[in-house]
Each structure stands twice: as structure tokens, then as C-alpha cells.
């Protein structure tokens, strides 16, 4: 049985070994970008069938963002929405025969978690300025500075291990059952995997949103925070 | 007989089994109290279940850590070389 912690290179592109996860990731990225481009090329006031479907997705994302954090969804929609849709597509790509979801590899999840780590800093600095972002480490009081720094690292690490563990264990269990029992037996497990994939994508996006929102809220003073809430 | 390999296999099995115990109890309690809350206040079911899912994922992480440790022991054991 192959170790789930290692990945084999399919072929080499110059000096870079290309694994199956990288290939799947790029295919998903290309499909998402192309799909978004084609579907939003001609937006009309009277929505067509496709436009209505896309608007439904965007509106759902907006309500989720607004309900989980109370923040205005506009600045976060692009990042959180892309994160959710990409992870969902990656998790569900295991439905195609022969494709292993890229999120079942450590590297993909590490890259996603790194994105979240960087975006927390980016949104924190953009929302409150550099001083405000640094001040968010001293919330609720300066005694917490080492703990807050530690927390900002460990929560990203736990996000990445959580996504990796859940998706990888699903793939692993299906592999074991298929090798022991036969071809059609793992189908119920695959159905369960669909649910896990959806929940994990949702949780990854929600946690990213919660981390960003808490950093932004910690950096702003009480007064401007209530002003923000009035705007929403 | 290689005792290090034997100990690693046993360690992996124990990590998964005991690592599943705690989160299972915790998730059971969390779901039970969420059900309780929804039964008392059905109109808050949406936000309760959303918080529940996030909380369950947090709890599940501990089990996933144990799984990762077990896999490290089985597939990437630093002691066996």
C-alpha cells in the first residue's frame, strides 16, 4: 500500500516534478477560471438561467459570510468564495475514476492554509493599518502577546492538518475497502465522502472568515467597531 | 523479531483507538446539547447548527491528529529508518 504522506511524480517539467495532485489542481483552477469568465461575460439586468444560478451561489456565500461574522461581505467575497469553491471542487474530484483529490496531499492543504495565514495579515493590515494589526496581538491585554502569536501559527496548522486528515482518511478507507471487498462495496463510503468533502470545504471557509474577522475586530477600537455594525 | 516495528504498529493502533474515544464522547455531548437547544428554540436552528458544525470540526481535529500520528508511525517512522 502506498504511503498517503508521499506523492509520486507523474512526469518532470524541466526541473519540477509534476505529481497528480498538481495536475488536478491546475485542471480545477483552469475550469473554475474559464467557467467564471464565460458565465459572467454577458451579465444582464434580466438574468438568464445560468446567471440566476451564479447569482444564487454568490448570494448564498454573502449571507453565510454576513451571518458568521457580521461583517460586510464585499471585501471578503472573492477570497472566501474562491477558497470554498476550490476546496469543494477538489474534494469532489474524487468522484471521477482514477482521480485522487488534491486536498488528500499535504502540499495542497499546506498551500491553502498558507494563503489563509497571509490573508489574515493582509486583511488585518488593510482594515486597521499596520499599527492596528500589531495591536490585535495585544488583545485583550498585552500579557497575551506570546499566546496570540502562537495561536496565529497553530490555528493555521490545525486547519491544514484537519483538511488533509479528513480527505486523506476518506481516500484511504475507500482504498482499503476496495482492495479487501471488491469493486462496488465502497459506494456508501464514497457517498459519505461527498458529505465530508462539503462539510470540510464549508468549515475551512468559515474558519478562514472567522480568523480574518477576529483579527480585524481586535485591531479596531470599540467605537469604530460599532460604527461598522451600523453600516451593516 | 523487530521489536521497534512491533511497538510502532501497536502504538499506531492505540493512538487511533484511544484518540477516537475522547472526540466521540465530546461530539456526542455537543450534538446532544445542540438538539436540546433546537428543541427549546426551533427558530434558532440555523445558527445553532452552523456553530455546531464548526465546533464538531474543531473537536474532530484531535482525532485527526491521532490519525496523522498513527500514519507517521506506520509509513514515515523516523526510528525505523
Mind listing the pLDDT tens digit for each residue in B26-58?
999 999 999 999 999 999 888 888 888 878 888
Report chain A residues whose CB lies below 8 A from the CB of B67.
165, 169
pLDDT score of A120 more than 70:
yes
List helix spans (H) across B1-81: 3-40, 45-75
Interface membership of A82 toward B (CB under 8 Å): no
Q: How confident is the model at residue A222 (pLDDT cuts 50, 70, 90)?
A: very low
Give me the percent of chain A exceeding a pLDDT of 70: 93
Residue whose C-alpha is closest to residue A131's, from A218, A209, A231, A226: A218
Cα–Cα dist A163/A158, whole Å: 9
The mean pLDDT of A190-198, rounded to a whole number, is 89
Name the residue among A3, A166, A199 with its Cβ closest to that of B75. Answer: A3
pLDDT score of A155 more than 90:
no
In this prediction, residue A223 carries a pLDDT of 44
Report chain A residues whose CB lies below 8 A from the CB of B65.
161, 165
**pLDDT tens digits, one per residue of A28-63:** 999 999 998 988 888 888 888 888 888 999 999 999
3-state secondary structure (DSSP) of residue A18: strand
Residue from B57, B60, B78 to probe the interface with A (highest A Cβ count within 10 Å): B57
A117-121, B1-5, B38-42: segment of lowest average pLDDT: B1-5
In this prediction, residue A113 carries a pLDDT of 93
In this prediction, residue A229 carries a pLDDT of 52
**Phi, psi (deg, nearest 5) at residue A165:** -60, -45
Report chain A residues whose CB lies below 8 A from the CB of B60.
162, 166
Residue whose C-alpha is closest to residue A165's, from A104, A84, A87: A104
Name the residue among B53, B64, B75 with its Cβ closest to that of A166. Answer: B64
In this prediction, residue B37 carries a pLDDT of 94
The mean pLDDT of A188-205, rounded to a whole number, is 89
Cα–Cα dist B42/A82, whole Å: 32
In this prediction, residue A118 carries a pLDDT of 93
Residue whose C-alpha is closest to residue B5's, from B75, B69, B64, B63: B75
3-state secondary structure (DSSP) of residue A9: strand
Does the interface ipTM go beyond 0.90? no
Report chain B residues whose CB lies below 8 A from the CB of A162.
57, 60-61, 64
In this prediction, residue A220 carries a pLDDT of 65
Cα–Cα dist B27/B56, whole Å: 6
CA atoms within 13 A on the CB side of B59: 18
The cell for A73 is 461581505
Question: Which residues partner with A19 through β-bridges?
Answer: A9
Q: How confident is the model at residue A232 (pLDDT cuts 50, 70, 90)?
A: very low
Report chain A residues whose CB lies below 8 A from the CB of B75.
3-6
In this prediction, residue B76 carries a pLDDT of 79
**Number of residues assigned to chain B:** 81
**pLDDT tens digits, one per residue of A127-148:** 888 888 888 888 778 888 888 8
Cα–Cα dist B77/B70, whole Å: 10
Longest dimension (CA), chain B: 62
pLDDT score of A4 more than 50:
yes
Yes or no, beta carbons of A166 and B53 under 8 Å apart? no
Interface of B with A (CB under 8 A): 46-47, 50, 53-54, 57, 60-61, 64-65, 67-68, 71-72, 75-76
Average pLDDT, chain A: 85
Residue whose C-alpha is closest to residue A219's, from A143, A124, A155: A124
**B61 and B15 in contact (C-beta within 8 Å)?**
no
Q: How confident is the model at residue A186 (pLDDT cuts 50, 70, 90)?
A: confident
Residue A38 C-alpha, separation from nearest chain B C-alpha, in angstroms: 33
User: How many residue contacts between A and B have a Cβ separation below 8 Å?
Assistant: 46
Amino acid at each position: 500500500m502506498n504511503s498517503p504522506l508521499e506523492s509520486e511524480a507523474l512526469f518532470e517539467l524541466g526541473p519540477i516534478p509534476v505529481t497528480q495532485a498538481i495536475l488536478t489542481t491546475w485542471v480545477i483552477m483552469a475550469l473554475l477560471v474559464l467557467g467564471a469568465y464565460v458565465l459572467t461575460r454577458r451579465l444582464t439586468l434580466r438574468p438568464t438561467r445560468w446567471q440566476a444560478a451564479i447569482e444564487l451561489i454568490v448570494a448564498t456565500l454573502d449571507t453565510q459570510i454576513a451571518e458568521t461574522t457580521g461583517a460586510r461581505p464585499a471585501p471578503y467575497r472573492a477570497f472566501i468564495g474562491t477558497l470554498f469553491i476550490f476546496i469543494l471542487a477538489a474534494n469532489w474530484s474524487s468522484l471521477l475514476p482514477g482521480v485522487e483529490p488534491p486536498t488528500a496531499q499535504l502540499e495542497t492543504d499546506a498551500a491553502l492554509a498558507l494563503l489563509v495565514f497571509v490573508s489574515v495579515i493582509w486583511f488585518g493590515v488593510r482594515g486597521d493599518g499596520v499599527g492596528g494589526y500589531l495591536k490585535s496581538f495585544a488583545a485583550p491585554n498585552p500579557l497575551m502577546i506570546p499566546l496570540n502569536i502562537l495561536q496565529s501559527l497553530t490555528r493555521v496548522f490545525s486547519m491544514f492538518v484537519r483538511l488533509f486528515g479528513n480527505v486523506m482518511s476518506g481516500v484511504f478507507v475507500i482504498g482499503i475497502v476496495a482492495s479487501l471487498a471488491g469493486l462496488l462495496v465502497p459506494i456508501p463510503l464514497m457517498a459519505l465522502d461527498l458529505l465530508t468533502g462539503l462539510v470540510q470545504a464549508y468549515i475551512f471557509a468559515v474558519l478562514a472568515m472567522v480568523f480574518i474577522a477576529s483579527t480585524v475586530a481586535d485591531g479596531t477600537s470599540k467605537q469604530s467597531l460599532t460604527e461598522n455594525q451600523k453600516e451593516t | 523479531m523487530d521489536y521497534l516495528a512491533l511497538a510502532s504498529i501497536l502504538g499506531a493502533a492505540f493512538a487511533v483507538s484511544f484518540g477516537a474515544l475522547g472526540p466521540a464522547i465530546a461530539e456526542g455531548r455537543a450534538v446532544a446539547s445542540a438538539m436540546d437547544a433546537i428543541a427549546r428554540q426551533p427558530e434558532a436552528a440555523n445558527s445553532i447548527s452552523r456553530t455546531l458544525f464548526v465546533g464538531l470540526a474543531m473537536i474532530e481535529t484531535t482525532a485527526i491528529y491521532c490519525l496523522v500520528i498513527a500514519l507517521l508511525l506506520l509509513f514515515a517512522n523516523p526510528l525505523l529508518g
